[in-house]
Amino acid sequence: MTSNWKIFASTEEIFAALTAQLVALSARKAHVSLSGGSTPQGWFRMLAQPACATAVRWENLHFWWGDERCVPPDAEESNFGAAQRLLLSHVPLPPGNIHRIRGEENPESEALRYAAEIRQHVPVGASGLPSFDWVLLGMGDDGHTASLFPGQTDFAEPNLTMVAQHPVSGQKRVSKSAALLMAGQRVDYLVTGAGKAALLRDIRDLDANPAARAQSPWPAARILSLYGETTWYLDLSAASLMGGMQARR
């Protein structure tokens, strides 16, 4: 489990790179697990533009979510709702290929239902767990990813999904488990902004100390691809404290 740090001069350049990856991936059937929060929303807007939208073979893609807030799908805070407004309502992704977590349902029963839907559709990988072709994650400024928060994440959780609670707001979430996220064929992070720069520097420093990484309190430091390299897509602001990192040309 190693990390590859890709620094871009702007978020637009990051989104263009992610779009190229999605276009390539869409040449065949693929299951993609999207991150929530605000960062990917600029990418969704780019993907909805005709130039991008016509390059992607949407019929081959299945979209899933790493986590969801326990709110209705049309709520402002809904991760699915944001993707629906910004992207899904603008592109010909077949409705049956949209696998949202139903935030309006009882969290415990929805976690079980979502796990069953994953098992029904997503092929099992070498780890023995369903293996998403691409898991895209974000990172909070406390080091959480998906809805796996510091101090409340069981990295040995045997289930594919679980119910979490935001440590500040108390908001319930349904999230994929650490093991399921790590079982993805590719696991990448999209992180931007200066607010996360110090934490990213500390996480990057763990590259040289796997034993310390394994004990890190930050889920984003520990949830990496089991199968290879985890790529971090950062803008210059997010990478500003990492030293020696140049924007890609």
60 vs 167 by CB, closer to ligand 6PG: 167
Minimum CB separation from ligand 6PG for residue 145, in Å?
5
Task: Examine residue 140 and tell whether it contacts ligand 6PG (CB under 6 A).
Answer: yes
Distance CA 134, CA 35 (A): 11
Q: What are the strands, taking DSSP E only, across the chain? A: 2-8, 30-34, 61-65, 67-69, 98-99, 134-137, 161-165, 172-176, 187-191, 229-235
Q: Which is nearer to ligand 6PG, 66 or 81 (CB)?
A: 66
Cβ-based neighbour number of residue 159 at 10 Å: 13
**Judged by CB under 6 A, which of 3, 63, 66, 149 binds ligand 6PG?**
66
Number of residues that bind ligand 6PG (CB under 6 A): 14
The least CB distance from residue 34 to ligand 6PG, in Å, is 9
Stretch near ligand 6PG under the rule CB under 6 A, chosen from 45-53, 120-128, 137-145, 229-237: 137-145
Torsion angles phi and psi, residue 165, rounded to 5: -140, 130
Is residue 11 a contact point for ligand 6PG (CB under 6 A)?
A: no
Query: From residue 74 to residue 103, what is the string marking binding to ligand 6PG with x (rule CB under 6 A)?
Result: -----x------------------------
Helix (H) or strand (E) holding 52: helix 50-53
Distance of closest approach, residue 44 Cβ to ligand 6PG, in angstroms: 12
Specify whether the CB–CB gap between 174 and 70 falls below 8 A. Answer: yes
Closer to ligand 6PG at the Cβ: 39 or 185?
Answer: 39
Pair 226, 127: CB distance under 8 Å: yes
Distance CA 132, CA 170 (A): 29
| Residues 186-245 within binding reach of ligand 6PG (CB under 6 A) | none
Q: Which is nearer to ligand 6PG, 55 or 75 (CB)?
A: 75
Q: Which stretch binds ligand 6PG (CB under 6 A): 2-10, 139-147, 206-214, 225-233?
A: 139-147
The 8-class DSSP code of residue 68 comes to E
Please name the residue that has the structure tokens 């190229």.
20
35 counts as binding ligand 6PG under rule CB under 6 A: yes
Which residues, 6+ apart, have CB-to-CB distance to 66 below 8 Å?
33, 34, 35, 36, 135, 136, 137, 145, 146, 147, 175, 176, 181
Binding residues for ligand 6PG (CB under 6 A): 35-39, 66-67, 79, 138-140, 144-146
